[in-house]
Amino acid sequence: MSKKVLVLAETREGSLRNVSFEAIAAGKMIADGGEVISVLIGNGITDVVNELVAYGADRVITVEDAKLEQYSSDGFSQALLAVIEQENPEGIVMGHTSLGKDLSPKLASRLNSGLVSDVTAIEADGDSPKFIRPIYSGKAFEKKVIKDGLTFITIRPNNIPALEKEDGRSGDVSSVSVDITDLRTIIKEVVRKATDGVDLSEAKVIVAGGRGVKSEDGFKPLKELADLLGGAVGASRGACDADYCDYSLQIGQTGKVVTPDLYIACGISGAIQHMAGMSNSKVIVAINKDPEANIFKVADYGIVGDLFDVVPLLIEEFKKVKVS
């Protein structure tokens, strides 16, 4: 049976995040031929609505208010609840991002609904699709089926492919006016410590460093390699604890969980907490001087050697490929 599904779109610095398009694709699987409505919340956001339609949204609803310029769970929940009340959907999809992880349990509680979080794949099966999510730090996977009530899920970025973009596609765009009141938190300033460039959680290529980089300067060749490959730089907790880099780069059980197409681990021993955050990467390349390092157990390709010798060689070879 076809369903109406709301999909929350996310923006960063005025641009739509890739997870917004992936969420639309997930919404299509749940809708089963029904309507997928993308919801965009913020201020001054109308410039990007057509892109949501191009990636598969049947309709786009915007909620704009100066109080929604920056994310707050109070403001966004008020805005989204107003749209949910108006549309009465059978499904809700949002990214398993910092925003989604904060907002989704609050909404589920308000709606008296269940929530399947961190979904990495969906098996379409008529009225009851199966939602696959990792458990036990990625050591196993479970399949969830929602038999009754609202289908509410969050999806892990970079796992469910977005639909092909259709620039000529048409869809209705409307706005909902919501009186945002009683905000307990007002964000006056956002100080970003994250590095410029590709968003780590959505990067297709990640070059990560551990204690083996030895210093802050040790990350420079990793940054050069990541830039060359159009990727992002990450780190293990050990590197962050040693003040080699900021904690915004941390990948692992207590950091970001990533699933890039290519993960290059440089000087990372492979503690279980770190591997919980990256072991589902499609291709893993490990560079380490210790042939017994735990990281080699999950690596598709292993290079036993000093990262300060190996990484410059990789940079040189990739530059040749780019030139040719």
The answer to whether 132 is annotated as binding is: no
Alpha helices, DSSP H, located in 48-119? 49-54, 73-87, 98-111
The answer to whether 160 is annotated as binding is: no
User: At 322, is the pLDDT very low, low, confident or very high (cuts 50, 70, 90)?
Assistant: confident
Q: Which CATH architecture has domain 5-175?
A: 3-Layer(aba) Sandwich (3.40)
Q: Is pLDDT of 41 > 70?
A: yes
DSSP E strand stretches across 10-65: 11-12, 15-16, 36-42, 59-64
Phi-psi region of 320 (alpha: psi -120 to 50; beta: other; left: phi over 0): alpha
The two domains 5-175 and 200-323 share their CATH topology (first three levels equal)? yes
Q: Which CATH architecture has domain 200-323?
A: 3-Layer(aba) Sandwich (3.40)
* 303-319: pLDDT as tens digits: 999 999 999 999 999 99
The answer to whether 86 is annotated as binding is: no
User: At 195, is the pLDDT very low, low, confident or very high (cuts 50, 70, 90)?
Assistant: low
What pLDDT, on the 0 to 100 scale, is given for residue 191? 73
* 45-62: pLDDT as tens digits: 888 999 999 999 999 999
Model-level pTM greater than 0.95?
no
- Quick check: 180 and 68 in contact, CB under 8 A? yes
The answer to whether 272 is annotated as binding is: yes
Closest to 236 measured CA to CA, from 208, 216, 214: 208
- Quick check: 176 and 83 in contact, CB under 8 A? yes
The answer to whether 253 is annotated as binding is: yes
Q: Which three-class secondary structure state does DSSP give residue 147? A: coil
The answer to whether 78 is annotated as binding is: no
Q: Is pLDDT of 189 > 80?
A: no
The answer to whether 75 is annotated as binding is: no
DSSP E strand stretches across the chain: 5-9, 11-12, 15-16, 36-42, 59-64, 91-95, 116-119, 121-123, 130-135, 140-145, 151-155, 172-175, 205-209, 232-235, 262-266, 283-288, 301-304
What pLDDT, on the 0 to 100 scale, is given for residue 197? 67
- What single letter denotes the amino acid at residue 81? L
Domain coordinates in residue numbering, the chain: 5-175, 200-323
- Quick check: 303 and 212 in contact, CB under 8 A? no
